[in-house]
Structure 1
Amino acid sequence: MLIGTANKGRYVLDYPLTQWAFVCVVAGAVVGLLLNIPMMTQDQGYLPAHVAAAGLTRADPAAVGRPLAAVVHHGTALVAALLYGAVVAGLSSVLPTAVSLNGVPLLPHIIGVAGVTAFIYYFFARIAMPRFGGSVRDDADEIIRQWALTAFIFGTALALFVPVLVTWL
């Protein structure tokens, strides 16, 4: 059943927190892999991963190798999905959960996806790019615009994939 009622009193969600965390990790991994497509097809699409890796290594983004940028990109997707999971679990204890998508409470799900999407965009645009942009700072506006699209795709894919993924539990 796509829309249902959450089990009352069993868990905050319809699933134990360990299972919920597993769902979020798998969703983050799959969505992170899917994001390779828009990132690689945009002119400056993969540069945010190089900038993030530059922040971790204190190197210039141009000096960051593709393998390290890919690891940072996929690690960020995992962390963002876990952050989403924590937001949904936390909000599920204070917001109405009567309407759900396969046991994922609808209102916390929407707020979690929107909040995490806005956070990853804001963190990159306002913190990572200005501090660690180095030699690619001249292209910052274009890189940030393309990152906005990538963040939106991440949020949309996560919003669609999590309720589907929980049906396989």
Structure 2
Amino acid sequence: MLDFPLSQWAFVCAVTGAFVGLLLNIPMVTQDEGYLPAYVAAGGLTRTNPTAVSRPLAVLVHHVTAVIAALLYGVVVAVLAFVLPTAVSLNGVPLLPHVVGAAGVTAFIYYFFARIAMPRFGGSLRDRGDEIVEQWALTAFIYGTALALFVPVLVTQI
């Protein structure tokens, strides 16, 4: 069981997602294909070729997706807190549901992009798909790790 009301938990997850999304700008901007997954996602949402997507839209999609993924993590943790042991916690966040939730959401966002978004919406970027998916794997790993690190910290601040 979570030690927090669900509304507070959702708020913590959303704030953490926004914060981690901002942090992800660093590795995404420094890598050659770093921001291309955001262009692919925005292209899929607007049904246009990713190369025709504007940078502001790609950035917006990236940040909104980071918040949504963190809320998904929050749902997974809240549900798992009812069925998995919660005796050990990190500042009130049950450890086992937290680890499973962060790892599960990381795997989901990687898999969703690599197996669904890129093949369907990659457009003219499909020929660079392997490099883009490889970059996305790194970004997804950084996202999940940062989420796992910051949720227990931010939960004490809010």
TM range (shorter): over 0.9
- 2:50 aligns to what? 61
Which of these residues, 100, 114, 121, is aligned with residue 111 of structure 1? Answer: 100
1:45-56 equivalence runs, <5 A = 45-56=34-45
TM-score (norm 1): 0.93
1:149 aligned to 2:149? no
1:20-169 equivalence runs, <5 A = 20-169=9-158
User: Per-residue deviation at 1:140?
Assistant: 0.2
Taking the aligned partners of 1:168 and 1:134, their CA distance within structure 2 comes to 43
Taking the aligned partners of 1:33 and 1:168, their CA distance within structure 2 comes to 18
Taking the aligned partners of 2:157 and 2:124, their CA distance within structure 1 comes to 45
Higher helix content, 1 or 2: 2
Structure 2: unaligned runs, 5 residues or longer: none
SS at match of 2:156: helix
Structure 1: unaligned runs, 5 residues or longer: 1-11
User: Per-residue deviation at 1:36?
Assistant: 0.4
Alignment RMSD, CA only?
0.4
Q: What do residues 132-165 of structure 1 show as CA deviations (whole Å, max 9, x unaligned)?
A: 0001111000000000000000000000000000
Q: Which runs of 4+ in 1 moved over 4 A?
A: none
Task: Give the counterpart letter for 1:152 in structure 2.
Answer: F
Task: Give the counterpart letter for 2:156 in structure 1.
Answer: T
Taking the aligned partners of 2:29 and 2:124, their CA distance within structure 1 comes to 20
Taking the aligned partners of 1:166 and 1:116, their CA distance within structure 2 comes to 19
1:19 aligned to 2:8? yes
User: Per-residue deviation at 1:167?
Assistant: 1.1
- 1:6 aligns to what? none
Taking the aligned partners of 1:70 and 1:151, their CA distance within structure 2 comes to 16
SS at match of 1:53: helix
Task: Give the counterpart letter for 1:111 in structure 2.
Answer: V
Taking the aligned partners of 1:150 and 1:168, their CA distance within structure 2 comes to 26
User: Per-residue deviation at 1:96?
Assistant: 0.5
Structure of higher CA gyration radius: 1
